[in-house]
Structure 1
Amino acid sequence: MVFTTPLLDKPAPGWKHDLPGPNEPTSTEPYPPVLSNPPNHVDDVYLELARATMRTRGIGVWLTPFMFSLALIAPFTLITYILKEGTPPLIPSIFLLLAFIVALWAGIYFWRMDTEAPRDEPIRFNRFRRKAYVYRFHRDGLRPFSGNAWGVRAEVYEWDNLRAEACSVYGPMGSGGLIETVTLAVVKPGTNQVTDRFHFAHEIQQGEMYWAMAQLFMQQGPQALPQFPRSPRDWNNEDMTFNLARRLAPKVQWPADIDLESRTAP
């Protein structure tokens, strides 16, 4: 069942429709040939799905030198003007200063987004503990130099408190482009009040299928999942790739206590 009016307070930006709740029948059947990745792991206790907040990476590391070069133009221009003409005009000086700040910020942001995000941001569903464990990368564009605002945190949510939403927004892609995603919201128990929200999958069709896989696993167990023709990808084994960002990206390393809890029954 797909709901046509938002169930949550507040719905996700670009809300299109809600997906069935965690303990409701699925709205679609997972079809492995159209899914990007098979599960990272599945057994009787937990299901781990690959997840990435960035759909494409590897461009930012090459944009960074370009942005830093642009940032150097502003002080070089001011110094040259001062040496030749004296005190520069106020308005052009402010414009050059803003250009320096924006280019420097963009260069640092692009670099950190491409190289500090982990190679995978998996999510684990433990059907015996009825919890979801999210390996989640946090970043803050307003604080590109911050150490605390950037980094991975392993977060734990109750399965019954998760809600899935399909979203579509127009993004800055040349002449404009539609970006479709499925996000997971965390609600207060017994309410539709959202306390947290995070990315789950790119493209609505794939997101609905991955959510259906989580539902089937949590409701019926691994025998309810389809068979995948491909073996799981080893996301940590990226050292030989030609993608510089993926080679520099940190490997997935769960905190020991959460890693043990998420893989075992109570």
Structure 2
Amino acid sequence: MFLASAIAFLIPDLIRQWNVFVTRSPLLGLYYCTMLVGAALAAGLFALHDCLLPRDTPVRFNRNTRKIYVYEYTASLRRLQRWRKEIKIYDWDNIEAEIAKVSGFTGKAYVVRHELVLVICKAGTNEVIDRISLKGNDVTVETLYQLWSYVRRFMAYGPARIPDLKARVQGVSFVSSLFHFMPYISPTEEGRRFRSKMRWLDYPIIFLTIWFFWIWLPLGICNYIAMKCAPEPKWPAEIDAESRSLRSS
């Protein structure tokens, strides 16, 4: 989305310089036209690709069947086709977890992110047959450890022995999308939840980033369009019923 926005931002400037390129040299004008058309096509393709990205990839944990149900998407080799959905079912007893660390230097800052990954092993062995990303892009590992502990307690004892957890707000709201990159001032329920979890370290970061609201708000509108166009997960009826079942298999 950022790349598409950047390309689209440059197109008006290219149009304004039309006469400069054409009057100096026909070849330069031809090159200019090619560059303009290429930029427009690239912006359109990237925007369309953003609209085809899946809205969500849910994972369901059922302690009665002792299985997890994973709804994943597989990218198509054809860029403009919708992603292919893939349903995976694994036994809970064959699942471990690991925390992956991704770090890199952007040229100005050293960035570190962490991800909680479910590791599926072959029954009775440590041979890994698949990995499922459960939560990623976290600055610290504390939340990831808490999430894994929460999942394990739920699968061991059920909902009676775990803290109450508010479910994420479903659906796509224009207001929520508008403040997607500034949840700390969002008037929605998501914004209130975000503010209730804010730590002292968040306040200086907010102070430094809020001045770029003229960038975040248009990107929020782009996020709304992309989310409305994104395919919504639809479980097959049999698997949907099994994953919600209250009876052991």
Check whether TM > 0.5. yes
Q: Secondary structure at the match of 1:166?
A: strand
SS in 2 for 1:128: coil
Q: Which amino acid aligns with 1:179?
A: R
1:131 equivalenced with 2:67 (yes/no): yes
Say if 1:64 and 1:111, in contact at 8 Å, map to a contact too: no
**Structure 1 residues 134 and 241, CA, compared in 2 at 3 Å: closer, same or farther?**
farther
Distance 1:241 1:151 in 2: 30
Distance 1:242 1:213, change over 3 A: closer
8 A contact 2:49–2:80 mirrored in 1: no
Q: Which residue of 2 aligns with 1:205?
A: 142
Structure 1 residues 145 and 210, CA, compared in 2 at 3 Å: closer, same or farther?
A: same
1:255 — aligned with what? 236
Residue identity over aligned pairs, in percent, reads 29
Q: What is the CA–CA distance in structure 1 between the aligned matches of 2:233 and 2:156, rounded to whole Å?
A: 28
Are residues 1:182 and 2:116 paired?
yes
Pairing 1:192–2:126 present:
yes
Give the unaligned 5+ runs of structure 2: 15-19, 178-220
SS at match of 1:254: coil
Within a 5 Å distance, the mapping from 1:226-265 to structure 2 comes to 226-228=163-165, 231-236=166-171, 238-243=172-177, 244=221, 245-246=223-224, 247-248=227-228, 249-264=230-245, 265=247
Give the letter for the 2:146 counterpart.
M
Letter paired with 1:259: D
Residues 206 and 143 of structure 1: is their aligned pair in 2 closer, same or farther, counting only changes over 3 Å? Answer: farther
> How far off is 1:109 after superposition?
4.7
- Structure 1 gap ranges (5+): 1-59, 75-79
- Residues 104 and 190 of structure 1: CA distance in aligned 2, closer, same or farther (over 3 Å): farther
- Note the aligned Cα RMSD (angstroms): 4.0
Q: Out of 153, 164, 182, which is 1:216 matched to?
A: 153
Q: Does 1:159 align with 2:79?
A: no
Secondary structure of the corresponding residue to residue 175 of structure 2: coil
Aligned AA (1:240): F
- Aligned residue for 1:201, secondary structure, equals strand
What is the CA–CA distance in structure 2 between the aligned matches of 1:171 and 1:106, rounded to whole Å? 27
- SS class of match (1:241): helix
